[in-house]
Structure 1
Amino acid sequence: MLHIPLLRNGKQYTSLNQSEITDHRTGEVLATMSLANPGLITKDIRENKKVWHDLQKLSLDETLEMCKKAAGLFLNAEIPFANTTQTPEQFVKYQSASTGMPENMCRANMDKVHWVLTNLRDIIKSLSGRVDFSIIESGYGVQDGIPISFLPMARQLGAVLPSNSPGVHSLWVPSLALRVPVVLKPGSREPWTPFRLLHAFMEAGYPSEALSCYPTDYAGGNNIMLYCERAMIFGDDSTVRLWENDRRVEVHGTGFSKVLLGEDIVENWQEYMDVLFTSVMANGGRSCINTSAIWTPKYGREIADALAKRMVETRPLPLTHPQAELSAFSDKRMAEYMDHAIEVGLDTEGAEDVTAKYRQGERVEVCEKSTFLQPTLIHVNGYEHPLANREFMFPFTSVVEMPQEEMLKTIEKSLVVTAITNDPDWQRELSCCPHIDRLNIGPIPTCKVDWLQPHEGNLFEFLFQRRSFQKTP
């Protein structure tokens, strides 16, 4: 039986308290996993802060080369894993079985992490404003005649990670290139990516003492958040709400990403159906950067009808199918809960499930023992409707008709907004809107990521603070 031990500062540790990771279809036990108690995590974090000083002896050129080597090992190699070794093919099989993600999506997320690790030199240059690496290494210097100094804000970066989106591991790996140790809490059903990544780093020669991974409970995750000087957390609003106002914490919650159609282009709305479809459906519709609402000044019903017809063509398929585009739910009760929440919303007057009249079967569907939610599009009469601004972990979106001048008065927190317009005045208003994190002007899918730009915050600025510094000659 495969057993996944804790990784305590690079050393494997088997605890008495363990959990089982099962195949979501059959209940077969895939592996057992050691669980860390909160006190052990706190002890290790407090005792391991000196490792940061050891990492500062490495140059960024050295850590970047290690990251590039780790990228190749993570993607292609059979490497040590837990109490055995693991091939990429075994990784994909285990991850798909425990999470419900199709195997082709598991591979795509491996490619995404590999790309980020391989291109970290350019990513760090971009996020730091092209500061010379020698200034980051020493903490101060002069560039283009301007004195620059950075104060390191963390001796360790903690991360409480999800079970449903392996691609997010691209967000914490740059910290290792920046010589900041990591303390990770993996998702209960998806320990595969963080553990494989950390083993790849160790094989690449990265100092193992800087690498920790603690499967644990809610209290253990809280201790990682409390005792690491900087931390990031992933989850729904109920999970991340506690940390929203803590400046030490980078919060990755629901996105409420949107596509806004401008008055100047809406007569040609058919030209933008590919953008709308991709924004809703890419990566199984599970990401915070998938579109959960489409706002248009007119033709709302026509847009909803045309998009719904395309969405229902994506059907549940076996997770081994090379064309599978929908993820199953590892717990069918979650799918049933979401389905019920949508039906309750539909009981409020002013909403119609447009996909219902076109799709085959019910919204909840079982395929080869996996439970899926079929793509769903709701047309609502106004933004006040309870389904107008909801986000679920499957392809779900609403279409709302409202005047363009009301859109920015109405909009609330939105991770990504794609605004399709050629109106320079409205483009200027959009660029100044404080509720929009990432802004796309033009027909760009909300899920298209430019890794050379910040995503829910700039990790370099999160880990390093610009400060005044003077030194006598």
Structure 2
Amino acid sequence: MSDAPELIRLDALGPSGPYRSQARETIHDVTGHPVAELSLVPRLYVRRGLAALRRARPLPVAERTAALAEAGRLFGSATVNGLTVQEYEHAVTRVSGLPIAVVREATRAVATGLAGAYGFAGQARPRGSRDTSYGASNAVWIRRGDVLAVLAAGNHPGIHEQWAEALALGYRVAVRPSRREPLSAHRLVSALHAAGFGTDHVVLLPSDHGVADDLVAGADLAMVYGGDAVVDAYRASTTVLPHGPGRAKILVTADADIPRHLDTIVASVSEQAGAACVNTTAVFVEGDPAPVARAIAERLAGLPSLAPESAAAVLPVRRVDAARELEKFLYAEAAGATAWLGGDTVVDELGDGAAVLRPAVFELPHANAPQARLELPFPCVWVAPWSREDGVGPLRNTIVLTALTFDQELIARLLDEPTIRNLHVGDHPTHVLVPGLPHDGYLGDFLMRSKTFTHRAPTPP
């Protein structure tokens, strides 16, 4: 008799309920041991699932909001798919390598986000469509389609909070989970079904990359997560919203008191295990960057190397072979940079087939060095000099910029720059999101549009 633990069964969740396919993929933990078995669905199953979503009608608003709140409660506290919330969080930690504290925080954030999804989604609603004072003629806010496909990422469980807003707005949603960490998406869709959303309102369709293209093509709209290649592929599309690398940045001007801001800088780099798109990738310093790089390195060097399920863990963990590949890539890209931390190795083996990815701090020779765009899934930061002559150029194409400056003219220029999607001025870490405010724009900007509705009673004969 085998003593191996039973694998977690992650069936597809289609319009007819759970579906265990013949094609399955084993999901391993950071030591290489199997944890779960994910069913992969064929192309025909995806097409049938999308057709069922298209036939379904949305729940009334009151029922939607109540079901979302209940789903949040179930996700954050109940036994779902045979897993208690503690068992789910432990499994996600072992599979993703994220510290257990990060996973627990994400669980709370998803639960809270579901409860507030309708209100958050409505923040994007134009003022004109809220005003009904025009009598027979009004602007109304309507969906651009009926079915949304989501090709989810696996770097952080918290990404699933966003697409729930589409359900709040009446969309039916098809989710393709990441094959790296499918547990969170499976738990959320299961919780939504248990809370009152029909199996023809939200489905989980795990698949290979070829079938994923059919999912995007068959839906009205799609959200797709990936790297630069994904963003480039869909940049011109009006029906696909790509989410790529965040490349969050910090700007420190000469009038800033660096020691006073060091906590903000270090937290921006290292919180969330450095794995989120809003973790700082590059710090630009007006003047000599070396003292800032040295101070960051001294702080990050003290972070412990622990297994991800340890309550004190703060760094991500990967299988040793995957960690070594990341390290090899890092050093190939870092040519010409000065290492303040991590120059010898960023891999700290735990002895069980897993390794901690330790922080790295590199100083760059100039503001336009290409490494400042390199985003890695652990605390890795590039510190570069910046001058007024460099201007806004090196700061472009970032999901969030924290500016440590008193220069009001510079702040105005940064606020006007369209490729800086969020701007914080002062001690606000890049990874801290304010509920109800846009993350990468409001999702409602993509999902909805406004149109005029005039209703006049017909004249009696």
TM-score (norm 2): 0.92
Out of 10, 32, 36, the residue aligned to residue 4 of structure 1 is 10
Which residue identity does 1:419 align to in structure 2? A
What's the counterpart of residue 43 of structure 1? 48
Per-residue CA distance 1:295-326 (angstroms, 9 max, x = gap): 11113111110111001111221222111001
Q: In the alignment, is residue 270 of structure 1 matched against residue 259 of structure 2?
A: yes
Partner secondary structure for residue 311 of structure 2: coil
Residue 240 of structure 1 and its aligned partner are, at CA, apart by 3.7
Partner secondary structure for residue 153 of structure 2: coil
Alignment coverage as a number of residue pairs: 449
What's the counterpart of residue 304 of structure 1? 293
Out of 17, 24, 27, the residue aligned to residue 18 of structure 1 is 24
1:131–1:143 Cα contact (<8 Å) kept: no
Residues 342-421 of structure 1 mapped to structure 2, 5 A cutoff: 342-348=330-336, 351-356=337-342, 362-369=345-352, 370-421=354-405
Residue 121 of structure 1 and its aligned partner are, at CA, apart by 4.1
Partner secondary structure for residue 454 of structure 2: coil
1:23–1:98 Cα contact (<8 Å) kept: yes
Per-residue CA distance 1:374-417 (angstroms, 9 max, x = gap): 10110111134342321111101111112134230333311111
Q: In the alignment, is residue 445 of structure 1 matched against residue 429 of structure 2?
A: yes
1:158–1:232 Cα contact (<8 Å) kept: yes
Which whole-Å CA distance do the structure 1 matches of 2:185 and 2:73 have between them?
A: 15
Query: Can you give the 5+ residue segments of structure 1 that lack an aligned partner in the other structure?
Result: 136-140
Partner secondary structure for residue 225 of structure 1: helix
Which whole-Å CA distance do the structure 2 matches of 1:144 and 1:127 have between them?
A: 21
Q: In the alignment, is residue 212 of structure 1 matched against residue 203 of structure 2?
A: yes
Which whole-Å CA distance do the structure 2 matches of 1:62 and 1:44 have between them?
A: 23
Which residue identity does 2:341 align to in structure 1? T
Q: In the alignment, is residue 34 of structure 1 matched against residue 39 of structure 2?
A: yes
Which whole-Å CA distance do the structure 2 matches of 1:4 and 1:435 have between them?
A: 39
1:259–1:276 Cα contact (<8 Å) kept: yes
2:52–2:200 Cα contact (<8 Å) kept: no
What's the counterpart of residue 105 of structure 1? 102
Which residue identity does 1:252 align to in structure 2? H
Partner secondary structure for residue 414 of structure 1: coil
Residues 103-252 of structure 1 mapped to structure 2, 5 A cutoff: 103-129=100-126, 142-143=132-133, 147-252=138-243
Which residue identity does 1:353 align to in structure 2? A
Q: In the alignment, is residue 281 of structure 1 matched against residue 275 of structure 2?
A: no
Relative distance call for 1:48 and 1:410 in structure 2 (3 A) is: closer
TM-score (norm 1): 0.90
Which residue identity does 1:449 align to in structure 2? L
RMSD: 2.1
Q: In the alignment, is residue 336 of structure 1 matched against residue 342 of structure 2?
A: no
Which whole-Å CA distance do the structure 2 matches of 1:7 and 1:363 have between them?
A: 39
What's the counterpart of residue 68 of structure 1? 69
2:222–2:239 Cα contact (<8 Å) kept: yes
Which whole-Å CA distance do the structure 2 matches of 1:120 and 1:387 have between them?
A: 37
What's the counterpart of residue 283 of structure 2? 294
Partner secondary structure for residue 187 of structure 1: coil
Which residue identity does 1:271 align to in structure 2? R
Residue 10 of structure 1 and its aligned partner are, at CA, apart by 5.5
Residue 347 of structure 1 and its aligned partner are, at CA, apart by 3.1
What's the counterpart of residue 89 of structure 2? 92
1:10–1:212 Cα contact (<8 Å) kept: no
Which whole-Å CA distance do the structure 1 matches of 2:278 and 2:429 have between them?
A: 9
2:269–2:379 Cα contact (<8 Å) kept: yes
Which whole-Å CA distance do the structure 2 matches of 1:19 and 1:397 have between them?
A: 34
1:262–1:404 Cα contact (<8 Å) kept: no
Residue 262 of structure 1 and its aligned partner are, at CA, apart by 2.5
Residue 232 of structure 1 and its aligned partner are, at CA, apart by 0.6
Partner secondary structure for residue 246 of structure 2: coil
1:363–1:373 Cα contact (<8 Å) kept: yes
Relative distance call for 1:96 and 1:144 in structure 2 (3 A) is: farther
2:307–2:317 Cα contact (<8 Å) kept: no
Which whole-Å CA distance do the structure 2 matches of 1:60 and 1:165 have between them?
A: 29
Query: Can you give the 5+ residue segments of structure 2 that lack an aligned partner in the other structure?
Result: 1-5
1:127–1:453 Cα contact (<8 Å) kept: no
Which residue identity does 1:49 align to in structure 2? R
Which whole-Å CA distance do the structure 1 matches of 2:330 and 2:79 have between them?
A: 44
